[in-house]
Amino acid sequence: MSFKQVQPHEVAALIPNGATVVGNGFTMMGVADEIYLEIEKSFLSKGVPNGLTFVHAAGQSNRIDGLARLAHPGLLKRVVGPHWGLNPPMANVLGADEVEAICLPQGQISTLYRTIAAHRPGQLSTVGLGTFVDPRHDGGRINDSAKAATASDEYVSLMELDGKEYLFYKSFPLDVAIIRGSRIDPDGNMSQEDDVTILDNLAIAQAVHNNGGIVIAQVKEIVERGDIPAREVEVPGVLVDYVMVTSDPAKYHRQTNASIEVNWDLITGYASPEELGQALLSHELEPTRVAIGERGAKLVRDGDIINLGTGLPGDSIGRALAVSGQIANITLTVESGTYGGVPLGVVDFGCALHPAAIIGHPQQFDFYNGGGVDITFMGVGQVDGEGNINVSAFAGKAIGCGGFMDIVDGAKRICFLMVADSKHPKWVPAVDQLTFYGKAALDKGQEVYLATEHYLVQLTDEGWVVLEVDDNDAARATASQVITKK
């Protein structure tokens, strides 16, 4: 064998104290959960490994398992990632300033793996300009310990090229890769045919290998040479150093959180637009959320390529398009790399039933960053009269921006969805954290809307303008109270 096989109890000892570790995964898809468990067990019983910097390009938890297992001060020194909304243990640790927190956009981390692998110094992007990622603000440092320990431009600096401003996302060394596959042969060639997403395995393995680090793979089984066709190899054997066969695939090698072993007829089987519409309409949805989705979906045009954010957009927009009959004339996409089908939500966000195509995580963000999305629908935490949005920090918890910044930066049209009658005030004088900079979007010529159960508004240079409001006094009063001018 070209790799060394290790048992679960041996895997944590492979990771040096103080190493920079990078792991693959999205919700619970592609997550090497048993390796995370063994690292946690080793730290709690022996105190090692410790002082780790952990890097991840997407949230990897179902609130309990996955990356939530590593939420221990001391085990972690620093986390560099995009989102912890489905990882309360990590959000609390970072929010309490017990571990340094660097929040960078999901797509920039995902594509940076390839930049690191190629030994390029970094990558230029307009993603994050004017937000908390901009070094003129916090440079992605979202707690005091990170601000004290790192220079504001350690991960991101500001550059000008041909008179235009960009953020320069810098390359940095990666020491240990934790990846996951379905099968591996004696030469280390690893497949992912059982996974519902492709994600970042290859780029992570290349980046760590080219940095002189080690690549650890969790797999379900070791097969004979020739059992994996060359076209099904996702990570070639020259990149894999250690292999751990999971002790319990049903428990530690989930394909999604809800379904341990995926029904591949649902994932890859064809479904007609009518069948997709029936699937989208089969789930009960609270009337307020239905109304918001239907109002926002009026902005959709035939032929649109649509991105759906998690939460309210994922719950309501597909359903609304099924009701209107437009589902046959558009393409729904999710940042994990799916096209078409019925996107799932919450801890299964990133997976779709009956997708037309599944591509890699970095390739999806190349598409998004380059303007491939006609309209994106995103949720709202806070909004102000300037058109600024916060989705990343609330009540002392580090939520993070996820793929939000990458997607809204490239989309031609942006529609934020929000419950107006929320128990938590959404309209504020100034947002707590700047995740979306309204002026920058207008300067780029993007169309920006916000839809609620009562009204639809559009952001202009003069502030928010009412386009549509329910025909009753209460709705008109609500709209007039929250629409603030500059």
Supply φ then ψ for residue 337, to 5 degrees.
125, 10
User: Residue 403: CA atoms inside 13 Å, Cβ hemisphere, count?
Assistant: 32
181 Cβ partners below 8 Å, 6+ apart?
190, 191, 192, 195, 201, 217, 218, 219, 234, 235
* Three-state secondary-structure class, residue 467: strand
How far is residue 64's CA from residue 40's CA, in Å, rounded to a whole number? Answer: 13
How far is residue 69's CA from residue 89's CA, in Å, rounded to a whole number? Answer: 8
* Number of neighbours of residue 40 by Cβ within 10 angstroms: 17
Beta bridge partners of 55: 22, 80
Residue 177: both structure tokens together: 């890769």
* Number of neighbours of residue 58 by Cβ within 10 angstroms: 30
How far is residue 102's CA from residue 82's CA, in Å, rounded to a whole number? Answer: 8
* Three-state secondary-structure class, residue 214: strand
Q: Which amino acid does the sequence have at 442?
A: L
* CB 305, CB 372: distance < 8 Å: yes
Catalytic residues: 335
Q: Which amino acid does the sequence have at 275?
A: E
285 Cβ partners below 8 Å, 6+ apart?
293, 315, 316, 319
Residue tagged 């991101």 (tokens): 156
How far is residue 346's CA from residue 257's CA, in Å, rounded to a whole number? Answer: 10
Beta strands 100-103; 331-334: pairing state = unpaired
Residue 382: both structure tokens together: 């806070």
How far is residue 379's CA from residue 418's CA, in Å, rounded to a whole number? Answer: 6
* CB 183, CB 165: distance < 8 Å: no
How far is residue 376's CA from residue 334's CA, in Å, rounded to a whole number? Answer: 10
What region does 47 belong to: left with phi over 0, alpha with psi -120 to 50, or beta?
left
Nearest 10 degrees: CA dihedral of 402, 407, 408, 410? 150
- Give first-to-last CA distance, the chain, whole Å: 67
Residue tagged 């609304």 (tokens): 320
